[in-house]
Amino acid sequence: MSSVSVAPKFFQLFLLIAVMTGFSRIVIGMHYPTDVVAGFALGCIGAYAVRNFFAARRWLFARLPDGTIRFRGLPNLRRVWRLVTQRA
């Protein structure tokens, strides 16, 4: 399953920011390395759990026949944007 289905262009940037933030927490003494690793693991598990929960209900994600999950996009966002701009 793809872990970068929502924003593949920005995955490396987001990963770099997360690693640098975790590293900075260790350097300034706010957290132990185990805290940072555990937080990273819990964050990943939580993100996958939410994605799978949403995919099972076809909210924002779709499960393809080969078993992969992909982001469906935000089709109603265009409709909301049209309604907002028509009123302005």
User: Would you kindly state where each structural domain of the chain is located, as residue ranges?
Assistant: 8-87
Instruction: Please tell me the predicted confidence (pLDDT) of residue 65.
Output: 93
pLDDT at 53 over 80: yes
Instruction: Please write down the long-range contacts of 62-67, taking CB distance under 8 Å and 24 or more positions apart.
Output: 67/1
* d(C-alpha 28, C-alpha 25), whole Å: 6
* d(C-alpha 23, C-alpha 31), whole Å: 9
pLDDT at 1 over 50: no
| Residues 6+ away with beta carbon under 8 Å from 71 | 5, 6, 60, 61
Task: Residue 2: name the closest of 77, 55, 41, 38 by CA.
Answer: 55
Q: Which of 13-22, 42-51, 77-86 has the lowest mean pLDDT?
A: 77-86
Read off the tokens for 21: 């933030």
Instruction: Please tell me the predicted confidence (pLDDT) of residue 27.
Output: 97
At 58, the amino acid letter reads: R
pLDDT at 22 over 50: yes
* d(C-alpha 22, C-alpha 16), whole Å: 10
Between 12 and 5, residue with greater pLDDT: 12
